[in-house]
Amino acid sequence: MLHYLLRRLGYGFLVLWGVATLVFVLFNILPGDPAAMMVGQRTDKATVEAVRRDLGLDLPLAQQYLLFLNDLSPISLHKSGVPAFAFSVEKYGQPFLSIKLSNNEVVIKKPYLRQSYQSKRPVVEVIAAAFPNTLILAVVSIFLASVLGIFLGAWTGMVNKTWLNRLVLVINTLGMSLPSFFAAILMAWLFAWLLGEYTGLNLVGSLHEVDDAGTGEHIVWKNLILPAITLGIRPLAIVTELTRTSLLDVMHSDFIRTARAKGLSGWPLLFRHALRNALNPVVTAISGWFASLLAGAVFVEYIFDWKGLGLVVVDALEKYDLPVLMGSILFIALLLIIINIFVDILYTLLDPRVRLN
C-alpha cells in the first residue's frame, strides 16, 4: 500500500508540474497587459511600467517561470536581502524552516499562489472563501445523482422489462444531452419565475445572503435546491445507465448462478452479491463527475449567482486577474489527483478481485 501511494504521489507531482507549466505558458502568451488593466486606460506609460516592475512582468519569461515554480514549491531558494519580485520570504508569511547559506536562503514553506492583481488579497484566501460554496453544491449534486441513479439503475436492472428499459434509455439520453447552461436557464425560468409563487424558490441567490434588515449574513438553504438539481441532472443519467448495464452483465456471471442455486433471489441477491460487483464502473463515473462538478460548475454558478469558485474564475477572466485564474486551475488539478488516488484505493474495498499491484 505504501509503495503504491508513493508511486501515485510521484505521478501526481509530475501531472501537477505539467499543469503548472501549461497554465503559465498559456496565460503568458495571451494578448493583453495585466498592468495596464490594473491602472486603467487613463494613465501614463511610466505608471504602467512601475506596476509591471512591481509584479515582475518586466523580467524575461524564463525567469518568471522559475520564480513561479519557486513560489509553488514547498522548498524554495531565495536571495537574502534582495527586494525583487517573489524573492522576499515575507510574502509567504512565517516559513516552517529557514536555513541561510551564504547570500541565499533555503525556505520550507507552504506553497505561495501570489496575490490577486485586482483586490491585492492572497489567492489562497480568495479560493478558501469561494471553494466551500462550490464544494457544498458539488457534494449535494453528486449525492442526489448517486443515490437516485444507483436505486433507479438497480431497480430497472432487476425488473429488466423491455418497455421500462426503453423509457429509462430515453430519459437518460435527454439528461446526458442537456447542456448545463440550458438546464440552468430552464430550471430558473420554470421553477423560480413561472412557479415561484408556489415553490418559494429564488431566481438567483447564494448560500449566504444578507437579510433585508442589514443585521448580517444568514444561510438560505432553499437557494441550493435549483443549482444542485441542475448540476446533478447529467451525472444522474450517467449513473443510472451505468448501474443498469453493469448489473445486467453481473447477473449473468457464474457466482450469481451459484448464489441462486443456494436459494438466494430478489433483493438479498442484489445487495449481497450483484450490486457490489457491479459498482466499479459506477464509482469511476461518480468520482469523475464529482471532480468535474468541482471544476465545471461555472455556468450554473454564474446563472444562479452562486458565489463559488466558478464565479471567481469568471470574474478573474473578465478582469484579467492571472494569479487568481492560475491558482484556481492548479487547485482544481490537485483535487483531481487526490480524488483519483482515493478512487483507486476504494476499488479494492468494493471488489476483492482488484489489487493495487
Q: Let me know whether 40 and 83 are in one domain.
A: yes
Q: Let me know whether 214 and 346 are in one domain.
A: yes
At residue 85 the predicted structure's pLDDT band, cuts being 50, 70 and 90, is: very low
Q: Is 325 exposed, middle or buried (0-12, 13-18, 19+ CB in 10 A)?
A: buried
115 in any annotated domain: no
Q: What is the mean pLDDT of residues 282-306?
A: 83
Model pLDDT, residue 40 = 64
Grid cell 465545471 — which residue? 296
Indicate whether 357 pLDDT > 70.
Answer: no
CA-to-CA distance for 66 and 20, rounded, in angstroms? 11
At residue 354 the predicted structure's pLDDT band, cuts being 50, 70 and 90, is: low
Q: Let me know whether 94 and 161 are in one domain.
A: no
35 in any annotated domain: yes
Residues 326/330/335/338 CA torsion (nearest 10 deg): 180
Q: Let me know whether 157 and 286 are in one domain.
A: yes
pLDDT in tens, 175-198: 888 888 888 889 999 999 898 888
Q: Let me know whether 164 and 239 are in one domain.
A: yes
CA-to-CA distance for 13 and 267, rounded, in angstroms? 44
Between 36 and 278, residue with greater pLDDT: 278
- Contact indicator for 236, 148 with CB cutoff of 8 Å: yes
Q: Let me know whether 142 and 256 are in one domain.
A: yes
Indicate whether 30 pLDDT > 80.
Answer: no
- Contact indicator for 238, 177 with CB cutoff of 8 Å: no
Q: Which of 75, 81, 85 is nearest to 114 (CA)?
A: 85
Model pLDDT, residue 212 = 63
At residue 142 the predicted structure's pLDDT band, cuts being 50, 70 and 90, is: very high
Indicate whether 65 pLDDT > 50.
Answer: yes
Indicate whether 213 pLDDT > 70.
Answer: no
Q: How many CB atoms lie within 10 A of CB 200?
A: 11
Q: Let me know whether 99 and 127 are in one domain.
A: no
Q: Report the CATH number that the domain containing residue 248 is assigned in CATH.
A: 1.10.3720.10
Lowest mean pLDDT among 126-135, 249-258, 304-313, 326-335: 249-258
Model pLDDT, residue 356 = 55
357 in any annotated domain: no
Query: Domains in the chain: how many in total?
Result: 2
Indicate whether 355 pLDDT > 70.
Answer: no
117 in any annotated domain: no
Phi/psi of residue 40, nearest 5 degrees: 90, 170
Percentage of the chain lying above the pLDDT 90 cut: 13
Q: Which of 60, 76, 108 is the last residue of a domain?
A: 108
The most confident of the ranges 3-12, 94-103, 255-264 is: 3-12
* Range(s) of the domain holding residue 69: 2-108
Grid cell 505539467 — which residue? 18
Model pLDDT, residue 42 = 63
CA-to-CA distance for 132 and 185, rounded, in angstroms? 24
Could you tell me the three cell numbers for 111? 506553497
CA-to-CA distance for 65 and 22, rounded, in angstroms? 11
DSSP state of 248: H
Q: What is the mean pLDDT of residues 142-147?
A: 93
Indicate whether 304 pLDDT > 80.
Answer: yes
At residue 82 the predicted structure's pLDDT band, cuts being 50, 70 and 90, is: very low
Q: CA 274, 278, 284: angle at the middle one, nearest 5?
A: 160
